[in-house]
Amino acid sequence: MQPAFNIEPYKQILTKYWGFASFKPLQEEIIKSVAGGRDTLGLMPTGGGKSLTFQVPALAHEGICLVITPLIALMKDQISRLNSLEIKSIAIHSGMSGEEIDIALENAIYGDYKFLYVSPERISTRMFQGKAGRLNLSLVAIDEAHCISQWGYDFRPSYLKIASLRDHISAKVPFIALTASATPQVIEDIMLKLAFREKNVLRTSFDRKNISYLVRKVEDKSAYLIKTLLKAKGSGIVYVRSRKRCKEVAELLVSNGISADFYHAGLTDELRDKKQASWTIGETRVIVSTNAFGMGIDKSEVRFVIHWDIPDSIENYFQESGRAGRDNKPAFAVLLYSPADKSRLTDTIRKKFPPVEKIKDTYEALCNFLQVPLGSGKDNVFDFNMSDFVSKFRLPVIETFNSLQFLQREGYVEITEEINNPSRVHFIVSRDDLYKFQVANESFDGFIKLLLRSYTGMFSEFVPINEETLSRKSAASRNTIYQYLMKLSSYKIIRYIPGKKTALVIFTEERLERKALLISPDNYLHVKEKYEVRLNRMIEYADSDNRCRSVTLLDYFGEESDRCGICDVCRDRNELDLSKYEFDLILEEIKTILADKNPDAEELVKLIGHSEDKVIKVLRWLLDHDKILKDDEMKLFWKS
């Protein structure tokens, strides 16, 4: 008989590092499963505290936790937080040089690190797989686990390589896969593709009882938004699809006396951090953003999330709207919807799926742009500026972007988000040899001392530095600092990698001839059909006005629930002054009668054994919401 699981050591870690006295719902159950060595799939909604389900057990056990995530910015954010808590953490991603990756891996093997974060495309490289077996792994955590499923909305082929880790590490190391949203089909696919030793899904209900989901069918979104925000209390987010509209809507709100700012991925990291901080502490009331805003949000008292534009999937809508009301107090998720939105969303199918020949054109242009010869390029990493690329080859932006996404989906390339990589320095001489250099080169002595006073750890790894900070500390120009760094690098005292901000393209296969580039017609059609299904479910959600919003959302994720009573559809029904029990009872009787005969309204009312007034209210509601239709002879029938 196994001893009872003792949660107390895990609670002590939670309190020591994060200051919480107890775990959130499901966190404890997932931790118990992982601590018992079981492969575990955890489904937790946005803001549910997914990261603690692997961070806490990793700290409770000997060894290092390998964390796989495709979001480099999130990776850097989590590492920064962990290191600030004096929990040693390190990262490997495609924005690093081969030398940096090699040093990071050696430090993870021989140092006292607790977390090694890795982007998925690095997992299958020869360097990583050659050293993975030497890592003293306690746990493998896979974030954004839905990316492994071709049925999912964000499939990444590099995730399919994760299971191959099992060939290089101890069979006792459990896998924990985490996601905020997954349909039943995706759930099964995740466990299959990660080679789970047994099916083991732990999930909390996606039901957000405090969120009132509303769809507002409006022609003039500007007028509605201003009127609503002037009346609404608290802070919130307005999501839009384009960077241009992002700024326009923010300026519209400010001009109408509403505290607002805009946020998108095209801004500098410093500006994004400043805007997010201002909104988080309440200086800015409303942030207008593209879907770039959301990652790492640590603000529980968000009273509303408003979508100016309709998202292209229920998954995206649910995640974004779920950023409201994390404090469990009443909050609103509002979707603004107009007839033009439906045609625009339908038109995205054409743009999202360029003709196969156009995809091949984009591939050839990309290879030429990056100067990749035929038969080479595998695992090579290239800086990539999308605007330079489309300008040079005079390519349409949206079609080109979607062609690149399809090449990624087919497994030919990986494309990262724009990465802001700071400058890095690593001393490649010993302390004794450095001292000798300082004695022999007095002009460098002061600068070397400045570096060593300002940063630690440079003898064992590459350390991020800031030339502006060094400039201020030394009262020297930024160019002078840069020249010192370049000269020390040329003397082979340091390795200096100047900072840069760029997206990256990684060739996961060598460059192929056009005729060998396979874009499977079946796969192309399959992906298109799945996208259309997701799109249509989103349009159905927006169009419908006769089914509880919360029930519709939860049904999509395979969860049953009663109607919420607080969405726009339920509020409309509540105005009938009938209990849910009475309404449903009368509705079922009407449905049963209409399945057998087609009376007119007067006959139907007489056939039902309830108060005439109540039957008329339900009947009128069903007619108003097109659940019941009339034929030319005024006979009633149930709309199938």
Taking all residues of the chain, what is their mean pLDDT, rounded to a whole number? 89
Same domain, 375 and 461: no
Give residue for tokens 């009132």. 212
> What is the C-alpha to C-alpha distance for residues 104 and 90, in angstroms, rounded to an integer?
7
Report yes or no on 389 lying in a domain. yes
Enclosing domain of residue 261: 211-337+544-556
pLDDT at 65: 96
Closest CA to 379 of 355, 341, 413: 413
Same domain, 250 and 394: no
Which tokens is 152 given? 């999912």
- What is the percentage of the chain residues whose pLDDT exceeds 70? 97
Residue 296 clears pLDDT 70, i.e. is over it: no
Instruction: Name 394's Cβ contacts closer than 8 Å, sequence gap at least 6.
Output: none
Query: Positive or negative CA dihedral for 311, 250, 211, 190?
Result: positive
Confidence of residue 576 (pLDDT cuts 50, 70, 90): low
Same domain, 312 and 446: no
Q: Which of 361-365, 372-376, 404-408, 499-503 has the lowest mean pLDDT?
A: 499-503
Report yes or no on 524 lying in a domain. yes
Report yes or no on 609 lying in a domain. yes
Instruction: Name 171's Cβ contacts closer than 8 Å, sequence gap at least 6.
Output: none
Three-class SS state of 66: strand
Report yes or no on 61 lying in a domain. yes
- What is the percentage of the chain residues whose pLDDT exceeds 90? 56
Same domain, 391 and 453: no
pLDDT at 362: 96
pLDDT at 521: 82
Supply the angle between the helices 221-231 and 243-255 in degrees, to the nearest 10.
50
Dihedral angle, C-alpha 343, 348, 351, 352, nearest 10 °: -160
User: Which of these three, 203, 221, 242, is where a domain ends?
Assistant: 203
Report yes or no on 180 lying in a domain. yes
Q: In what order do the strands lie in the sheet with 260-263?
A: 211-217, 331-337, 302-307, 235-239, 286-289, 260-263
Same domain, 411 and 429: no
pLDDT at 350: 82
User: Which of these three, 156, 186, 203, is where a domain ends?
Assistant: 203
CATH number of residue 90's parent domain: 3.40.50.300
Confidence of residue 577 (pLDDT cuts 50, 70, 90): low
Same domain, 405 and 427: no
- pTM above 0.85? no
| 439 CB-contact burial (10 Å; exposed 0-12 / middle 13-18 / buried 19+) | exposed
CATH number of residue 583's parent domain: 1.10.10
Same domain, 157 and 182: yes
Report yes or no on 2 lying in a domain. no
Report yes or no on 148 lying in a domain. yes
Same domain, 224 and 300: yes
Angle at 55 between CA 54 and CA 58, to 5 degrees: 80
Residue 575 clears pLDDT 70, i.e. is over it: no
414-463 pLDDT per residue, tens: 888 777 788 999 999 999 999 999 999 999 999 999 999 999 999 999 99
Strand partners, 505: 382, 415
Report yes or no on 568 lying in a domain. no
Count the domains in the chain.
Answer: 5
Same domain, 435 and 448: yes
pLDDT at 584: 78
CATH number of residue 365's parent domain: 1.10.10.10
Give the residue, 27 or 269, on which the prediction is more confident: 27
pLDDT at 637: 78
Same domain, 98 and 196: yes
Same domain, 190 and 236: no
pLDDT at 419: 78
Closest CA to 541 of 207, 332, 303, 317: 317
Angle at 129 between CA 124 and CA 130, to 5 degrees: 145
Which among 73-82, 242-251, 606-615 has the top mean pLDDT?
Answer: 242-251
Same domain, 160 and 84: yes
Which tokens is 240 given? 């839009």
Give the residue, 112 or 578, on which the prediction is more confident: 112
User: Which of these three, 162, 183, 203, is where a domain ends?
Assistant: 203
Phi-psi region of 610 (alpha: psi -120 to 50; beta: other; left: phi over 0): beta
Which tokens is 107 given? 């430090």
pLDDT at 29: 94
Long-range (24+ apart) CB contacts under 8 A made by 242-251 are: 242/290, 243/290, 245/308, 245/309, 246/288, 246/289, 246/290, 247/288, 249/222, 249/225, 249/288, 249/308, 250/286, 250/288
- What does DSSP say about strands 137-142 and 64-68: parallel, antiparallel, or unpaired? parallel
pLDDT at 630: 82
Convert 542-563 to b/e letters by CB count within 10 Å (16 or more is b).
Answer: beeeebbbbbbbbebbeeeeeb
Given a contact cutoff of 8 angstroms between Cβ atoms, the answer to whether 357 and 364 are in contact is no
Give residue for tokens 């997992």. 123
Residue 294 clears pLDDT 80, i.e. is over it: no
Three-class SS state of 397: helix
Strand partners, 497: 424
